[in-house]
A and B are shown apart, each in its own frame.
Chain A
């Protein structure tokens, strides 16, 4: 549904997006992760037809965005990070204007009513100028959905939401995804993306450094290395295994931190048992997902 082919965007000689290749299948809820300045918003601006790529191309539903901007815009819903509306109009009037620009007929009245209820803004009659950031964000989600889009693209959708707003946002995304809509969410908040997205791509310095399901990302990000902590009642002998990468001993060899390419807990237990060492604890350390993602960023920074 969403596809980028060697997408590049250069500002004043500096690449904001660098040879990005990405594919988001239909019905997927995809998270575009990356620190500030990674190129997420620039990628989204190209996907929504607001800026043109320096080179490469992006496609929505097999339509190239740069050459078919109007057709593409009809198929997508978009909420920018700094979402803004006409301050002197009410939420309903803003959506009404939006619906007219999408060429919607009289059915727009019903759609607006339905969406305002969905985002919790029904019955709010004050002008948008008096809205909190969170309310504007909710209205932004409603606007992104007004034209029954095949794909919605949300840039930092929870940036200004309170906990209730975040919960509502997750509910809305799940509701939309259940209806088969493709969703692309850009964020630098991993926990938010991980709660709604089925897969993700990690962007750093304009490059896609990794992508896949959460399990795939965690495995690749952890370099498939396993850290095992051992505590024994008597000192440990030297440990040998083809999978062993490193072993650090402490407290007079009563404690050890083992790094291996695979989980060798059973092998270690057998070795220690053969050596007559009584084991107090033997644990594999599961990599923290935040650490995994930080390692992606750091790796890219070092490479840069």
Chain B
């Protein structure tokens, strides 16, 4: 591949994207949603900050113990970004699809593909140039959203710290990857489908399927259907609850109600309880593994989970520690600093990898399909 040709093709694609009414309309909607979400988030942040300050005052006066508020660390401006994360995952996915679904089919429909390929260029330069042009447009869109978001926060008098700035940038990078994933998915269908309409329908079908399947999987009944009910504690009534979203914390609660009419051998009971604990842990670990595996297939689920970790690292830390039998040492557990933050992201490395692998895999498929395209 020659960089000069790539630059020419990517430059034209970038210009086309930015000039297209479709891109401008969706981007305008995205901006409005992002700004509205951030304004709401900024108000919420200020409220949280006031509560936190009140709590600090109360703690200093000995009225409350701060160490128990593991999940209630100092509020971060990133909480405001958490609000737009959910919105971005849908609107920006649509933006990515809208940008990519007709990249090749439109060339076929306007009959310009033959003319384009009659130039002294390789097909891989065409498809890569188109992908780079789209990536440039998405990067520009995301950069504008992030800059505007920071500007909104500054207007509200909220100045991000260095760590928060790094997290904002990572948030922007993750948002880019998510939109780019759907853009590349649409690009693949643009090479595979006969016309733009079919490409759009196929992309939306896969988008909805991925979202629906992952939602179905992470909802309880589907997994229960797959792996059965959780084990029941010996001689007890049992209840459990679980999350229905990627950002909720799975919780299991059990209660042992003593039956006065039934006498338990204390030793036997302890053994059974230990056995139950092991089975229960294994069950929930298996359940978690299935959920994580299925949701890895969905870029928006990966994005939401990672965006949650970036914007709410305290809650993410709690989430990563749940299921560990060892209690968290609230006094020694580091709660601030980039190293802790990157440690948290390390715990989500599979999702980060998945967010890179998804577009890479579909780009590979698009590349092969386009290279073997029969031009007639």
Contacts and interface: CB of A to CB of B under 8 A. Distances in A.
Interface of A: 41-42, 45, 48-51, 69-71, 73-74, 76, 78, 80, 82-88, 97-98, 100-103, 140, 143
B329 interface: no
Main secondary structure of the interface of B (DSSP, over half): helix
21 contacts: A49-B118, A70-B122, A73-B121, A74-B120, A80-B118, A82-B114, A84-B110, A84-B112, A84-B113, A84-B114, A84-B115, A85-B112, A86-B112, A87-B110, A97-B8, A97-B12, A100-B8, A101-B5, A101-B9, A101-B121, A103-B4
A18 B119 CA distance: 27
A101 B115 CA distance: 11
Contacts of B12: 97
A158 to B, nearest CB: 17
B376 A143 contact: no
B61 interface: no
Contact of B114 (A42, A71, A80, A102): A80
Contact of B375 (A51, A71, A102): A51
B162 to A, nearest CB: 43
A82 B110 CA distance: 9
B76 to A, nearest CB: 44
A101 B120 contact: yes
A80 B107 CA distance: 14
Interface string B90-125: 000000000000000000001111111111111000
A49 B116 CA distance: 12
Given A83-B111, A88-B16, A98-B115, 7 more contacts: A42-B376, A50-B117, A51-B376, A84-B115, A97-B12, A101-B5, A101-B9
Nearest to A48: B118
Nearest to A70: B120
Interface in B113-139: 113-122
Given A50-B375, A100-B8, A103-B4, A73 B119 contact: yes
A157 to B, nearest CB: 14
B113 to A, nearest CB: 8
B374 interface: yes
Contacts of A71: 120
Contacts of B120: 69-71, 73-74, 101-103
Contacts of A86: 16, 110, 112
Contact of B119 (A87, A101, A140): A101
A78 B111 contact: no
A103 B4 CA distance: 9
B102 to A, nearest CB: 12
Interface string B1-44: 00011001100100010011000000000000000000000000
A94 to B, nearest CB: 9
A44 to B, nearest CB: 10
B111 A84 contact: yes
A48 B118 CA distance: 7
B2 to A, nearest CB: 9
A153 to B, nearest CB: 9
A102 B8 CA distance: 11
Best-buried of B19, B118, B121, B374 by chain A (most CB within 10 Å): B118
A73 B19 CA distance: 30
A146 to B, nearest CB: 10
Nearest to B19: A88
Interface in B324-376: 374-376
A73 B375 CA distance: 16
Contact of A45 (B19, B110, B121, B375): B375
